[in-house]
Amino acid sequence: MTRARFPAALDGGAKARRAERGSELLRPQRLLEEAARDAARRAPPSGLGLDSQAVRQRMADRLRADGLSCEPVLQALATVPRHEFVDSALANQAYEDTALPIGHGQTISKPSVVARMLELLFGGDNARASGQLGRVLEIGTGCGYQAALLSQLARRVVSVERIEPLHRKARENLHGWRRSELRLVFGDGRLGHAPNAPYDSIVAAAGGEALPAAWIEQLAEGGRLVAPMHDAAAGGQVLCVLDRRGGLIERRFHDAVHFVPLKSGTQ
């Protein structure tokens, strides 16, 4: 089993940009105070309205320049209006690479972190064969932004959220952005969602010491799971990629991250 704690080396400008960032963790769910301070420092996009496709394309182009190479993910990022998933007071920061508060102690993840996880998810066997993610289970709907992206990439999406006000808000936010079949579930994400299993792809926005057994049980043959997980060797959370092939489970570790803890029950 190969354990790679860092993404593959990048060429040219992308490598230099990552080197400049040093050892900074990818922090999709930072403390709200940090997210608010970061948002206040950002300059709003100038010369273009937030509803302009060019604004979303500019965000996707920046991520491409930083090394993102999965074309379906880039296209989804250029399609879904991120500003519609954040508070109106923070809408001007929606297309910067920053986490933003969404209430209830949660944040919307940085576009770079969302893109990285979806890129890893797209590396699974079923995605390569079909050109899409197939049947997807998302753990942690949040404000619904990643679910909207997944709806551009998958045949069917089931998204589970344990915080009821966020579940209700995501339903509002996702109205009209359902290219594929999308089901939002209020429930305990640690349990997955057995009624619609198995899933070709599973992605989680919270992490713990280990991956819940329910997630692995609900992963289809040839499927891939991407989730944050504590790795003692790395001294913190990393993105864990798990593949089910021929009845065997293969696990690899990638980028260092910092997600909220995975919790049981509903709130």
What's the average pLDDT block by block, 10 residues per block, for the chain (267 residues)? 40 49 51 59 54 92 95 96 93 93 91 96 78 92 96 95 97 82 96 97 92 96 94 85 92 88 90
Please give the model's pTM, rounded to 2 decimal places. Answer: 0.81
Buried b (16+ CB within 10 A) or exposed e, 216-234: bebbbebbbbbbbbbbeee
Residue 55 contacts residue 95 (beta carbons within 8 Å): yes
The one-letter amino acid code at 267 reads: Q
The per-residue pLDDT for 9 is: 39
Range 12-256: architecture per CATH: 3-Layer(aba) Sandwich (3.40)
Buried b (16+ CB within 10 A) or exposed e, 13-50: ebeeebeeeeeeebbbbbebeebeebbeebeebeeeeb
SS3 258: coil
Cite the active site residues.
109
